[in-house]
Amino acid sequence: MYTLIIGVIVGIIIGGLIGKKLSWENDKTFWSIFKGMSVGSLIGLLIGLTFGLIIYSVNIDHTIPTKLWEKDIKSLGDNSSVSGSFFLGCGTIDKRDYYYYYVKAKNGGWEQKRLETDLVTIFEDQDSTAYIRCNLIKISDDHWSHNWAIKHHEEYEIHIPAGSIKNSFDLDLK
């Protein structure tokens, strides 16, 4: 954001000086100087805005993962879910893939939970315990720009014992 403001201010100043110089050579009245500086400032504003946007868009965001929670899981499976709605012959169907797992409940039992597969990365570890970890991913801008919207999202890691993922190739040409 600061890059845009600095670019616009510098552009207006340079454009105003150029406009003043050009108008001063032709006519020395106040109105002609004012017109020249105004046109020069507008051109400088556009140039400053353009360069400011280019510099702003080139800035690289850095992700900072923060562990929110970690829980042991009992079992893990994947499945698809189909949902939709229809009314008078028109409608939509939505298919999503989920990982289903059990976590320990507060009362000592086990609760079934699910996560969309797009949000999950699975790791095979040498450890024999399986667990799920939720990370909050914050996107921080560098010191030249500040976004008004807070950028963050949750990503999940499921750690399972080594050898749990089966190699399976099935080419069904029916």
Residues 110 and 157 occupy one common structural domain:
yes
Q: What is the identity of the amino acid at 130?
A: A
Chain segment 59-117, per-residue pLDDT in tens: 555 666 788 889 988 888 888 777 777 777 787 778 888 999 999 888 989 999 999 98
Model confidence at 124: pLDDT above 70: yes
Residue 124 within a domain: yes
- Quick one: pLDDT at residue 143? 46
Residues whose CB falls within 8 Å of the CB of residue 82, separated by 6 or more in sequence, listed in order? 93, 94, 95
Are 153 and 100 found together in one domain?
yes
Secondary structure of residue 24 in the 3-state scheme? helix
Residues 111, 26: one domain? no
Question: Distances in Å between the alpha carbon of 106 and those of 25, 38, 109?
Answer: 83, 69, 7
Q: Is residue 122 domain-resident?
A: yes
Residues 49 and 78 placed together within one structural domain of the fold: no
Do 66 and 151 lie in one domain? The reply is yes
Q: Residue 38 belongs to what domain range?
A: 2-58
Residues 40 and 75 in one domain: no
Q: Residue 3: what pLDDT?
A: 59
Residue 54's pLDDT band, with cuts at 50, 70 and 90, is confident
Do 140 and 74 sit in the same domain of this protein? yes
What DSSP assignment string belongs to 90-136?
A: EEEEEEEEEEEEEEE-TTSSEEEEEEEGGGEEEEEESSS--EEEEEE
